[in-house]
Amino acid sequence: MSLGRIVKLQALITKPLRRAYSTAPELTQIRHNVKRSDYANLEDKDIAFFESIVGKRYALQEDLQAYNVDFWRSVRGNSQLVLKPGTTQEVSAILKYCNERKLAVCPQGGNTGVVGGAVPVFDEIVLSLTRLDKILHIDEITGIAACETGCILENLDNKARELDLVVPLDLGAKSSCHVGGNVSTNAGGLRVVRYGNLHGSVLGLEVVLANGEILDLMSDFKKDNTGYHLKHLFIGAEGTLGVVTKVSILCAPAPQAQHVAFLGLPNFDAVLKTFKSAKLNLGEILSACEMIDAPTLDASLEHFKLNSPINGFPFYMLLETSGSNGTHDMEKINKFVEIGMERGEIIDGTITGEARKMQEIWKLRELAPMALTKDGYCFYYDLSLPLRDFYSIVEVMQKRIGTLATRVTGFGHLGDSNLHLNVSCPAYTDELHHKIEPFLYEYTHKLKGSVSAEHGIGFIKKNYLKYSKSAEAIAMMRDMKKLLDPKGILNPYKVLN
């Protein structure tokens, strides 16, 4: 039995989101007062050259709003040219030319990022990888799949499922995000607790460097200890060190059964104990471990008129199992829940293996960010924190902010120590903003946490990098950038200041 993704989040959220942000945002360069660097300006001869490479049809100069504005409508660039190369060689020819001319380039995948990393800030040429969408091969025995960068994650996953495999990455934007974009942002998502991060599962990359050189780091093997492991430099580099054009990734065996447990817990200490028990008792079948606090659940219930199978608890946990034997899995879950209830760590809950019911439960979690936005405006954070401080930071913020906010809530990938902390309010105010920042980042810094667990730095967070990385590390990042892209043409104004 092949199990499809339970919630097609993007399909669910696009409409309300688009309504909420129906007008185009202010230009990023104005809103954030950015100064354009000394890149060359696009001239007619440039366009003629690019047309000779990709063809007139794939050198777009009109209706570029979808490429200039991000999915969350938080940033807006002013690019006058979108190029859609059809081969790695075309990407190479474009970059070689841009590097020689010092024309800035913004690589773009599915444009589903949340930190403004994939849209231009000024007039960078948008290099859309949409046409590089081929699945190259999938080996049904080893589970190793290779595809071009613009392949949509869901398409690769669907193809893998035909061979009883799954792509080891799952996130809300699955139906539109690109595999290359996932790699470039080291996308996390819902199943990291099971399958680990992309540094573990990406086996090879093909990358085009700023000067147009094609770097073949593809591999069809899990093990290859020949020289420096260069591919990792491009995983999570957000298109600033090179343009990923091909990806080889290790798929996992498809689970034969899935179950979801939705649990009500009396306090955060019980949440931690339940997580520990889940690791021990569900061990190898645990595939998601999410925490949701009461104010978050309330927002989902209110704004989306959802029903929760249980109510009235300060904390909820959503656990998912994926295994090769449904009967065994159900026995393990029952035992795990019984132990938790005996100990008073779990008060109430529901367990289901029915697709429809699992979907309903996942909605409670996955619609949370949208629900909070519907309060009016939401300051939304993505932190890694020590588990002992995982929730106390929410309480600290609740106390600090008081009635200025509609809700101060926390939910997230507890299994990965990844908290999404949210402050919703009727409308954006500077007062509230300054009440949160930089306090929250300083607080995170003191706990040696990460100010961006999974979203990346992009444009929006580049001033906060210093809270999670030492001056020496940032200096080395600059050295890498200088080495690989000396003219700085690749995705400028992103990641590094």
Stretch that binds a second copy, among 84-92, 97-105, 312-320, 468-476 (CB under 8 A): 468-476
**CA dihedral over 198, 200, 202, 204, signed as positive or negative:** positive
Stretch that binds a second copy, among 88-96, 124-132, 343-351, 453-461 (CB under 8 A): 453-461
Please state the closest distance from residue 157 (CB atom) to a second copy, in A. 17
3-state secondary structure of 116: coil
Instruction: Write out the binding residues for a second copy, residues 106-145 only, by CB under 8 A.
Output: 139-143
Instruction: Write out the binding residues for a second copy, residues 474-493 only, by CB under 8 A.
Output: 474, 476-477, 479-480, 483
388, 276, 381: which is closest to 336 by C-alpha?
Answer: 276
Contacting residue, 12, 27, 135, 233, with a second copy by CB under 8 A: 233
Contacting residue, 293, 360, 454, 485, with a second copy by CB under 8 A: 454
Please state the closest distance from residue 434 (CB atom) to a second copy, in A. 22
Nearer to a second copy, 134 or 279 (CB): 279
271, 292, 264: which is closest to 362 by C-alpha?
Answer: 292
158, 435, 411, 431: which is closest to 294 by C-alpha?
Answer: 411
Runs of H (alpha helix) within 191-253: 192-195, 198-201
Please state the closest distance from residue 227 (CB atom) to a second copy, in A. 5
Total residues at the site for a second copy (CB under 8 A)? 91
Give the per-residue contact string, 172-191, with a second copy (x = CB under 8 A; - = no).
-------------xx-x---
Q: Is 103 in the site for a second copy (CB under 8 A)?
A: no
Asked whether 127 and 83 are in contact (CB, 8 A), the reply is yes
Nearer to a second copy, 145 or 297 (CB): 145
Contacting residue, 3, 27, 301, 465, with a second copy by CB under 8 A: 465
**CA dihedral over 398, 402, 405, 406, signed as positive or negative:** positive
d(CA 354, CA 171): 21
Instruction: Write out the binding residues for a second copy, residues 396-415 only, by CB under 8 A.
Output: 413
Instruction: Write out the binding residues for a second copy, residues 309-368 only, by CB under 8 A.
Output: 322-325, 328, 331-332
Nearer to a second copy, 24 or 280 (CB): 280
Q: Is 166 in the site for a second copy (CB under 8 A)?
A: no
Nearer to a second copy, 349 or 449 (CB): 449
Contacting residue, 4, 55, 200, 376, with a second copy by CB under 8 A: 200
Please state the closest distance from residue 294 (CB atom) to a second copy, in A. 22
| Segments of 266-376 assigned E as strands | 286-293, 315-323, 348-352
368, 350, 378, 348: which is closest to 302 by C-alpha?
Answer: 368
Q: What is the DSSP string of 4-42?
A: --S--HHHHHHHHHHHHT-SPPPPHHHHTTPPPPSPPPP
Instruction: Write out the binding residues for a second copy, residues 254-313 only, by CB under 8 A.
Output: 255-256, 272, 275-276, 279-285
3-state secondary structure of 369: helix
Paired with 378 in beta bridges are 424
Contacting residue, 62, 227, 356, 430, with a second copy by CB under 8 A: 227
Compute how many other C-beta atoms are within 10 angstroms of the C-beta atom of residue 181. 28
Q: CA separation (Å) from 320 to 194, 287, 295, 388, 410?
A: 10, 5, 22, 23, 19
Please state the closest distance from residue 209 (CB atom) to a second copy, in A. 8
